Chains A and B, each alone.
Chain A
Amino acid sequence: MLLEIKNLHAKIEGKEILKGINLTVNAGEVHAIMGPNGSGKSTLANVLAGHENYEVTEGEIIYKGKNLLELSPEDRAREGIFLAFQYPVELPGVSNTNFLKTAVNEIRKYRGEEEMDAVDFLQMIKEKMKIVELDQALLKRSVNEGFSGGEKKRNEIFQMAVLEPKLAILDETDSGLDIDALRIVANGVEKLRSPENSTILVTHYQRLLNYIVPDFVHVLSDGKIVKSGGKQLALELEEKGYDWIKTDAVA
């Protein structure tokens, strides 16, 4: 078992958003978390990554046998957690290359590995760029600055490819993408799929799941997982909408 979330409650600015989440993710599994706006999907993603604005009030998260909530965001990343942001942050003045190199070497240092030399590093990132069909010119530019929406999302998946996480959390990576960009992003995620790595896809739309087939689908509503199932559940949601789940849950 890679990740176990037990009775997780979390709030932001005094407002409780997560009201008792239970979720288990094993190595190699892809879980889709779906739900209407405001159901707590992004909160769950941010809590897993360690955003300081979210306060966990109850419950626990066990990751690789450790208490995840005790780890700083950077240590979570070094332990193999990766969050692809819904709204990737622009970092004017920080070049993509410098950013990635620092990240890779910080993680290697944590794991007691030697820093990567410049030649190997460049070789490696050029390979990874192909996965998401990113133009190499982007490497010299500032992180996400002046990127189109699609470029930003592809850049997230590119970073994921470079950092090779154990657990990737994709927060609405599909939102706002045209079909070509969606295909590229999905293709990237598929290529990185392996029996050791797990993925949590947070999404509002079923569309992404045409390209990335999940092992499990969970429906989040009002801070709780109200329904879990296989990939069929996603199709059902697409057809019937979220209202059906809400009433179903109450009943």
Chain B
Amino acid sequence: MNDIANFKNTLTSSFTDFEKSLNGQSKQPLHSIRKEALANFEQAEFPNLKNEEWRYTNISPLLKHSFNPLPAVLPLMYDDIQQFLLGDTFNHVMVFVNGRFDENLSKINNLPDGLIVKSIATDVEEDDPNVLEHFGKYALSEGQIFTSLSAAYTFDGAFVHVQEGKIIEDPIHLLFIADARKDKALIQPRNLFIADKNSQASVLEHFVSLSEDIYFTNTITEIVVGENTYFDHVKLQEESKRAFHISRTVIDQELSSNFTSHAISLGGDICRNDINSKFNDKGGECTINGLFLLDDSQLCDTHTLIDHAQPHCNSHEHYKGILDDKSRGVFNGKVIVRPDAQKTNAFQENNNIILSNEALINTKPQLEIFADDVKCSHGATIGQLDKEAMFYLKTRGIGEDIARAMLLHAFASDVIKTIKLLPVRDYVEAILTKKFNQ
């Protein structure tokens, strides 16, 4: 009980300092959202294991720490971040250090016509009507303690706006760097992506850390996928093994839109990903894929929700987990098919490989179907590395370690191969190769 009270108090009392740091910005309309969120944060309770949505994820280790919501931001050089730039292949890169946009390390001065990429803070300063129209409208704060915390301290994050009819070929790389060498940082990037009618874009959210320290990333992304628009989203999380990572991604899909998500989770002590997509109109298509690769005592919890609120929409979901040592995985895939959503196709699959006796996975499909003319399926598997496959490889002269790496790679490849951004796929492949060959 004391932990929770302390955790809350620290964060509530820092708010005054935060307000001061905002200078003139505290008079903007966004600030009333912050204050409202703070009130929500004070009222809301931290989830515990009795809460159905958090049944397998105990966050009490998180609450033992005292995090600094206004962490120090040390100046970084290009050499510090070069390793995370995926071979410098991307033309549009936004770098955030402890949640603060770093213009010098970023590369957004050469944007094509129709693409607006800037920090949310700048956008708010410029009174962009898009912010007030969309900000906080999808990831609601009420009753959501982590969303409230994020909204209360909203300062920076990526704002991406693709204007009507624009096809943006180059992906946008958002690099979120955690630097907790100085203090236990609370890092809360807050992103908003808007893709207008008939447009196309891809965004990579990439979370990394400079050291294996303790810190807390609490991030929210809202994505509006306009009519007949194609939006590709990849979230690559390779945080410190001691970090806490809580993220919520909320997607609003309009008429005949197509949204693809890949979430690759590798780091973090406790990691929780919530991905909620809603079909607001007919003809939508949504693909939600992911891979979590865990060892030591890592915990990774993925909760997805696909809301088929309208007819004639298709959703495909495929998550894979590889768990070693004492790690724990949670997958909860909820699909709601509302009464009007006839002709829905919703497919979900979750496959897991357990490499040790102590690793554990809790997987749960949750289908709530209220329409009668729909096709929905789900499947979950949990197994060990196939012994017959291992023997087969060995009889061809392939040694134990390489055979194991080959099979794990093959298992993960279903998900990795569907990542459309080739440099990202190669980067993930390289990480997996390194991990599997350890």
Which of A85, A89, A103 has a CB less than 8 Å from the CB of B398?
A103
Say if the beta carbon of B409 comes within 8 Å of chain A: yes
List residues of chain A with CB within 8 A of the CB of B393: 91, 99, 103
Say if the beta carbon of A194 comes within 8 Å of chain B: no
Contact A89 B396 (CB under 8 A): no
Would A88 and B410 be within 8 Å (CB), given that A102-B398, A163-B397 are in contact?
Answer: no
In the bound assembly, the distance between CA atoms of A73 and B400 in angstroms comes to 10
Interface residue stretch chosen among B175-183, B190-198, B384-392 = B384-392
Contact B395 A102 (CB under 8 A): no
Nearest Cβ distance between residue B400 and chain A, in whole angstroms? 7
In the bound assembly, the distance between CA atoms of A52 and B390 in angstroms comes to 11
List residues of chain B with CB within 8 A of the CB of A238: none
Contact A107 B397 (CB under 8 A): yes
Would A74 and B410 be within 8 Å (CB), given that A85-B392, A88-B392, A89-B392 are in contact?
Answer: no
List residues of chain A with CB within 8 A of the CB of B412: 93
In the bound assembly, the distance between CA atoms of A106 and B414 in angstroms comes to 26
List residues of chain A with CB within 8 A of the CB of B396: 77, 99, 103, 106, 159, 163
Say if the beta carbon of A64 comes within 8 Å of chain B: no
Nearest Cβ distance between residue B406 and chain A, in whole angstroms? 6
CB neighbors of B among A58-94 (8 A): 72-74, 76-78, 82-83, 85, 88-89, 91-94
List residues of chain B with CB within 8 A of the CB of A142: 410
List residues of chain A with CB within 8 A of the CB of B409: 93-94
Contact A74 B400 (CB under 8 A): yes
Say if the beta carbon of A191 comes within 8 Å of chain B: no
List residues of chain A with CB within 8 A of the CB of B395: 49-50, 73-74, 76-77, 82-83, 85
Contact B413 A102 (CB under 8 A): no
List residues of chain A with CB within 8 A of the CB of B413: 93
Interface size on B, residues (CB 8 A): 24
In the bound assembly, the distance between CA atoms of A106 and B399 in angstroms comes to 8
Nearest Cβ distance between residue A164 and chain B, in whole angstroms? 11
Interface centre among A51, A82, A106, A110 (most CB of B within 10 A): A106
Place the interface of chain A in its size category.
20 to 34
In the bound assembly, the distance between CA atoms of A159 and B392 in angstroms comes to 12
Contact A89 B411 (CB under 8 A): no
Interface centre among B398, B409, B411 (most CB of A within 10 A): B398
Q: Which residue of A lies closest to B414 (CB)?
A: A93
CB neighbors of A among B379-437 (8 A): 386-389, 391-400, 402-403, 406-407, 409-414
In the bound assembly, the distance between CA atoms of A207 and B361 in angstroms comes to 50
List residues of chain B with CB within 8 A of the CB of A98: 406
In the bound assembly, the distance between CA atoms of A93 and B406 in angstroms comes to 9
In the bound assembly, the distance between CA atoms of A153 and B37 in angstroms comes to 65
Nearest Cβ distance between residue B430 and chain A, in whole angstroms? 16
Nearest Cβ distance between residue B390 and chain A, in whole angstroms? 9
In the bound assembly, the distance between CA atoms of A133 and B413 in angstroms comes to 29
Which of B391, B399, B410 has a CB less than 8 Å from the CB of A92?
B410
Would A77 and B397 be within 8 Å (CB), given that A85-B392, A88-B392, A89-B392 are in contact?
Answer: yes
Q: Which residue of A lies closest to B392 (CB)?
A: A89
CB neighbors of B among A87-117 (8 A): 88-89, 91-94, 98-99, 102-103, 106-107, 110
Q: Which residue of B lies closest to A73 (CB)?
A: B394
Q: Which residue of A lies closest to B387 (CB)?
A: A52
Nearest Cβ distance between residue A88 and chain B, in whole angstroms? 7
CB neighbors of B among A170-221 (8 A): none
Would A73 and B407 be within 8 Å (CB), given that A110-B397, A163-B397 are in contact?
Answer: no
In the bound assembly, the distance between CA atoms of A50 and B399 in angstroms comes to 13
Nearest Cβ distance between residue A93 and chain B, in whole angstroms? 3
In the bound assembly, the distance between CA atoms of A5 and B404 in angstroms comes to 31
List residues of chain A with CB within 8 A of the CB of B387: 52
List residues of chain B with CB within 8 A of the CB of A106: 396-399, 402
Contact A103 B397 (CB under 8 A): yes
Nearest Cβ distance between residue B213 and chain A, in whole angstroms? 36
Q: Which residue of B lies closest to A90 (CB)?
A: B389
In the bound assembly, the distance between CA atoms of A142 and B413 in angstroms comes to 11
In the bound assembly, the distance between CA atoms of A84 and B350 in angstroms comes to 33
List residues of chain B with CB within 8 A of the CB of A50: 394-395
In the bound assembly, the distance between CA atoms of A163 and B394 in angstroms comes to 13
Would A94 and B400 be within 8 Å (CB), given that A73-B391, A82-B395 are in contact?
Answer: no
Mind listing 8 A-B residue pairs with CB under 8 Å? A52-B387, A73-B391, A74-B394, A74-B397, A83-B395, A89-B388, A99-B406, A106-B399
6 pairs of A and B residues whose beta carbons are closest in the complex: A93-B410, A77-B397, A73-B394, A103-B396, A89-B392, A107-B397
A interface residues (Cβ-Cβ under 8 A, vs B): 49-52, 72-74, 76-78, 82-83, 85, 88-89, 91-94, 98-99, 102-103, 106-107, 110, 142, 159, 163
